[in-house]
Chain A
């Protein structure tokens, strides 16, 4: 009996290593899949919630479950620049272009990543900001350099703006199988599609995975303004100029004192 249990556990481990197909199923969803930006928009908070559904016929695991949720925003190219002193003046002298890094990246976990799975697994599964590949242009080649000072600076600056976040205690288990996590998006995150990738770990192994997504869009007046500015630039400019003329004229009439 003990032998059979050990064999089953080993098999489960093997399967987990081969891919997320095991006795558990992961169900996750968001409170809102469609965030609209209106004139009073100051950022938004979404809640990711889900549950682990056990196959009743399978063996009960002993170790606790762990969740790692990765939220990836739309990709935009960035340039990281470094200043140095030239003739007493600080000038941008070196720069590196990062090709399509995520504009928003949040790694929310139920425990510190090192406690959830091995460093090897983290690298393989690209878990955490440190293991997220950020491709940069180096002499017309695109490569990933992990200890590059430009990459370190990019991650630091993005974290300062709350655009890159890694929180090891953001996911909480309400019951042993039911979890929730708050995703708080600052107001400056770009509009577009956001991917939410949820991974379930047990005993250091990935056992299930679930994908979700949400989008941030402009609505109503905000969308109208963007369309007008982008598609009908000249008309928009003339309208802005008319607005300036009208405002200036009204003010001079209102404030006329003689």
Chain B
């Protein structure tokens, strides 16, 4: 069944988009990530222009992460103090990211920087996560207990002042590294047009030692808040949010996210991290191929001067 998208100006198959929403929603619910880094390339692949894809995905991610966040909140598996501290850093980071975005566009090198940051970030994070996941699995296979929390292993920033007790996560750390992580997520998110959940989850686990149980729900709250404000900003400035496209994605996404969240609770943490690492790495590899392989067509055309 074909439906015409009023803002994207193309007809799409409803069931295809619905299935994409379901699949990405499942992945996002399972790992506690927004899924923007998967959905945006998929939409561009089926012919939606990149601007509309990025803007409409923010709306979809907002809905998808809200339903996920509520599911985790019911299980008391999220830390609202932690989420709000991260958000405070995130707002400042987003503002700096938007400023850099504008500057790079003036230099005509934005596309290259976006491509390179996707490759570097996704492949480095992917490799680190896969490595860690494999080591954790080997440890548990050898019968040693899984060391999720190593109380003795203090990193230098654990000595910083402004200590805050994040009760739900059972961590007592300085607010400075948490604000810094929020800043990095906001900064990177503004440049790459992603929620940053796949970065936030490993950072919280490895640096702040937040337990896997609360990290996903917390990440979902942050993703929800940033993506909701991004939707309003995109609609007000670029007029590129396609509400029909977003609604189809949303319906698929929220259903997928529910099943994903249930599946995620059943899978052991180290396997979850291994799978997410592989997924992140593969998407990074896909972007690397685009940059390194000789393109089929050296020429491309781009519409300039306003929407059609």
Is B53's CB within 8 Å of the partner chain A? no
Partner-contacting stretch, out of A50-58, A172-180, A203-211, A227-235: A227-235
Partner-contacting stretch, out of B141-149, B159-167, B196-204, B248-256: B248-256
By a CB distance below 8 angstroms, the chain B residues around A158 are 301
Inter-subunit contact A82/B298 (CB<8 Å): yes
By a CB distance below 8 angstroms, the chain A residues around B7 are 225-226, 229
Tell me the minimal C-beta distance from B109 to chain A in angstroms. Answer: 9
Subset of 25 A-B contacts with CB under 8 Å = A40-B2, A40-B3, A82-B298, A90-B290, A90-B293, A91-B112, A158-B301, A187-B11, A190-B9, A191-B9, A223-B6, A225-B243, A229-B235, A229-B239, A237-B235, A240-B246, A241-B228, A243-B246, A244-B62, A247-B250, A248-B224, A249-B67, A250-B254, A251-B63, A251-B67
By a CB distance below 8 angstroms, the chain B residues around A239 are 243
By a CB distance below 8 angstroms, the chain B residues around A131 are none
The CB with the most chain B CB atoms within 10 A, among A84, A188, A233, is that of A233
Inter-subunit contact B6/A218 (CB<8 Å): yes
Tell me the minimal C-beta distance from A124 to chain B in angstroms. Answer: 29
Inter-subunit contact B244/A225 (CB<8 Å): yes
Tell me the minimal C-beta distance from A237 to chain B in angstroms. Answer: 3
Task: Report which of B241, B247, B298 forms a contact with A237, defined as CB distance below 8 A.
Answer: B241
How many angstroms between the C-alpha atoms of A240 and B241 in the bound complex?
8
Q: Mark B252-287, 1 if CB is under 8 A from A, else 0.
A: 001101100010000000000000000000000000
Is B152's CB within 8 Å of the partner chain A? no
Inter-subunit contact A78/B302 (CB<8 Å): yes
Is B233's CB within 8 Å of the partner chain A? yes
Known: A218-B6, A234-B235, A248-B67. 19 other contacts (CB 8 A): A39-B3, A40-B3, A78-B303, A79-B303, A81-B299, A82-B299, A92-B111, A92-B112, A187-B4, A188-B10, A226-B7, A233-B239, A234-B236, A236-B235, A240-B243, A243-B59, A243-B63, A248-B250, A251-B258
Is A83's CB within 8 Å of the partner chain B? yes
By a CB distance below 8 angstroms, the chain B residues around A190 are 9, 308
By a CB distance below 8 angstroms, the chain B residues around A154 are 299, 301
Given the contacts A79-B301, A91-B112, A237-B231, A247 and B251 also touching, CB distance less than 8 Å: yes
Is A77's CB within 8 Å of the partner chain B? yes
Interface residues of B (CB under 8 A from A): 2-4, 6-7, 9-11, 47, 59-60, 62-67, 70-71, 74, 111-112, 116, 224, 228, 231-237, 239, 241, 243-244, 246-247, 250-251, 254-255, 257-258, 262, 290-295, 297-305, 308
- The B-contacting residues of A in range 58-102, CB under 8 angstroms, are 76-85, 88-92, 97
Give the nearest-CB partner of B56 in chain A: A240
Interface size classification for chain A: 35 or more
Given the contacts A91-B112, A248-B63, A255 and B241 also touching, CB distance less than 8 Å: no
By a CB distance below 8 angstroms, the chain A residues around B112 are 89, 91-92
How many angstroms between the C-alpha atoms of A79 and B247 in the bound complex?
32
Given the contacts A39-B3, A187-B10, A252-B70, A81 and B301 also touching, CB distance less than 8 Å: yes
Task: Report which of B59, B70, B255, B299 forms a contact with A240, defined as CB distance below 8 A.
Answer: B59
Tell me the minimal C-beta distance from B239 to chain A in angstroms. Answer: 5
How many angstroms between the C-alpha atoms of A78 and B70 in the bound complex?
46
By a CB distance below 8 angstroms, the chain A residues around B292 are 88-90
Given the contacts A77-B304, A222-B4, A247-B251, A241 and B239 also touching, CB distance less than 8 Å: no
Task: Report which of A43, A91, A249, A257 forms a contact with B66, defined as CB distance below 8 A.
Answer: A249
Interface of B is mostly: helix
Inter-subunit contact A42/B2 (CB<8 Å): yes
How many angstroms between the C-alpha atoms of A56 and B235 in the bound complex?
63
The CB with the most chain A CB atoms within 10 A, among B231, B298, B305, is that of B298
Inter-subunit contact B234/A42 (CB<8 Å): no
Is A141's CB within 8 Å of the partner chain B? no
Tell me the minimal C-beta distance from A225 to chain B in angstroms. Answer: 4
Is A139's CB within 8 Å of the partner chain B? no
Is A201's CB within 8 Å of the partner chain B? no
Task: Report which of B2, B111, B116, B239 forms a contact with A230, defined as CB distance below 8 A.
Answer: B239
How many angstroms between the C-alpha atoms of A251 and B9 in the bound complex?
28
By a CB distance below 8 angstroms, the chain B residues around A256 are 74
Task: Report which of A89, A191, A234, A251 forms a contact with B308, defined as CB distance below 8 A.
Answer: A191
Give the nearest-CB partner of A92 in chain B: B111
By a CB distance below 8 angstroms, the chain A residues around B291 are 89-90
Give the nearest-CB partner of B241 in chain A: A240
Give the nearest-CB partner of B234 in chain A: A237
Inter-subunit contact A79/B9 (CB<8 Å): no
Is A194's CB within 8 Å of the partner chain B? no
Is A37's CB within 8 Å of the partner chain B? yes
Give the nearest-CB partner of B232 in chain A: A237
How many angstroms between the C-alpha atoms of A90 and B297 in the bound complex?
11
Tell me the minimal C-beta distance from B201 to chain A in angstroms. Answer: 20
